[in-house]
Structure 1
Amino acid sequence: MARTSGRAARIKALQKLCASGAIIHISEAARQLGTSEITIRRDLSKRDKGVVCLGGYLMLAQDNGEYYSLSRAEGTNTQAKIEVARKAAELITPDDTIFIDCGSTLPHLVSRIPQNANVTVVTPALNIAEAVARMEGINLLLLAGIYHPSSGSFSSDTALKMLKEINITKGFFSAAGVHEKEGVTCFHFHEVAVKRAAMARSQQRFLVADASKWGKLRPATFAQLDEFDLWIGKPEEVAAQ
């Protein structure tokens, strides 16, 4: 019987450390495995064993943006997403101009927007725009450009220029991960510029992310937690701190 190689044994140990979506810094992983960070980086260089290193943190490959599917995400944690969207909708008032981010959580916000209240919705997300277009008394401003099926959203320089001219009273932002050190993250780098521009133009900024996002680290950081006026969906143990 062939002996298990040192690399294979280390990969197996890393998979165990990252089980159930856990995220661990490469220095801590090296300490636990009794090896060096350089060795771990070399082990993962072929990206063939289900573990990746992003920003110095190790995670399972299925948590990486390469595997993200909007349609799949729409079918997970549905009740939690509905609940945070309901709480977010309570903040909307007549004559607001609101930014609604892309993702699988905020579509649940759309049906709860007060109709015939002269609310204007600004969004880069196709699923948000399609839902708003069917509603009465709500103005729609779609930030169009190159369409990205992976996130169901658009991005372009034109969209960024449009945002500079819009006065947003309330911005509702989604996230795929919220990490206490690395900040608020998403899967796709093309989302970052639009999110940042919308945050800059929003008088109030709300992070709408259920508790399952806490502790998750995704490839692209777009904000720090203290940039938001309120995090809707904060885990109870964090809120108590």
Structure 2
Amino acid sequence: MCASGAIVHIADAAKQLETSEITIRRDLSDNDSGILRLGGYLMFASDNGERYSLSHAQGTNTQAKIEVALQAAELIAPEDTIFIDCGSTLPHLASRIPQNANITVVTQALNIAEIVARIEGVNLILLAGIYHAESGSFSSETALKMLQEINITKGFFSAAGVHETEGVTCFHFHEVAVKRAAIARSQRRFLVADTSKWGKLRPATFAQVNEFDAWIGKPGHGPSPSAAP
């Protein structure tokens, strides 16, 4: 009915199977079918956040991730305070932060912090708390309070899915509060996600596409916007 990573509306699935939406909903609730229902959409349960592996994601679609990260890196300017989100795309951005440019990096992601800590002349603010190994990130009320005191000039956000109607999504609900707080504190906001994320619906929505100044990696679009304020 749907390939891994793809989504199908229940109404469309009912037409394909020549049955009713009620029957599909009932069958999914009664059986371990391997298909997950999120609102009015269907997706494979293997794509649910509980099955997500950061280590696995780091080895997939690598070249596309590097390309969008390179575009995003062009936006970083001396004296910026930047937020770098968790995930497997933005480590490629973190590794390209210039040395000794009086840049401050704010992140909740352990893999980002490990990279930034080795860059000379860069300040690191780690939003610590409870560590979630599946996403390699931290979450806590303390992290949210810390964000309220930080003026972020540019925020770089990753996504596991970008859906036409449901917005920008991630696998894990614990990521949402930090992402939302960082979006609110960022003067400029950039979604950094390659084209493979388009049309994918993940369990947790954290933003709408129009909340970002630009989507770096958007299907059909070329170079990233100017870094000028």
Return the alpha-carbon distance in structure 2 between the equivalents of residues 196 and 208 of structure 1: 15
Q: Deviations over 1:93-136 (max 9, x none)?
A: 00000000000000001111111000000000000001111110
Q: Secondary structure at the match of 2:50?
A: helix
**AA partner of residue 11 (structure 2):** S
**Offset at 1:183?**
0.3
- Supply the AA of the counterpart residue of 2:130: I
1:23 and 2:7 are equivalent in the alignment: yes
* Counterpart position of 2:103: 119
Q: 2: CA distance between counterparts of 1:102 and 1:233? A: 17
Larger RCO, structure (CA 8 Å, separation 6 or more): 2
Structure 1 residue 37, shift from structure 2 partner: 1.7
Q: Measured at CA, do residues 238 and 136 of structure 1 come closer, stay the same or move farther in structure 2, by a change above 3 Å?
A: closer
Percent identical across equivalent pairs? Answer: 81
Long gaps (5+) in structure 1: 1-16
**Cross-structure match for 2:33:** 49
Q: Deviations over 1:11-46 (max 9, x none)?
A: xxxxxx202533111122123322222211111114
Structure 2: unaligned runs, 5 residues or longer: 224-229
* Greater Cα offset, 19-28 or 170-179: 19-28
User: Deviation of residue 55 (structure 1)?
Assistant: 2.1
Q: 1:133 to 1:108 in 2, by over 3 A?
A: same
**Aligned partner of 1:195: which letter?**
K
| Higher alpha-carbon deviation: 20-29 or 119-128 | 20-29
Q: Does 1:168 align with 2:155?
A: no
Alignment counterpart, residue 208 of structure 1, candidates 189, 192, 212: 192
TM-score (norm 1): 0.89
1:188-227 → structure 2 map (5 Å cutoff): 188-227=172-211
How many residues are aligned here? Answer: 223
Amino acid at match of 2:211: E
The 1:191/1:20 distance shift into structure 2, 3 A limit, reads closer
Map of 1:138 onto structure 2: 122
CA-CA distance at 1:238 after TM superposition: 11
Q: 2:55 aligns with which of 47, 71, 74?
A: 71
Flag the structure with larger Rg: 1
- The amino acid that maps onto 1:38 is I
TM (norm. structure 2) is: 0.94
Amino acid at match of 1:163: L
Query: Which structure features the higher share of helix residues?
Result: 1
Kindly provide the amino acid, as one letter, of the partner of residue 207 in structure 2.
Answer: A
Provide the C-alpha distance between the structure 1 equivalents of 2:117 and 2:180, rounded to a whole number of angstroms: 25
Secondary structure of 1:134 counterpart = coil
- Give SS of 2:177's match: helix
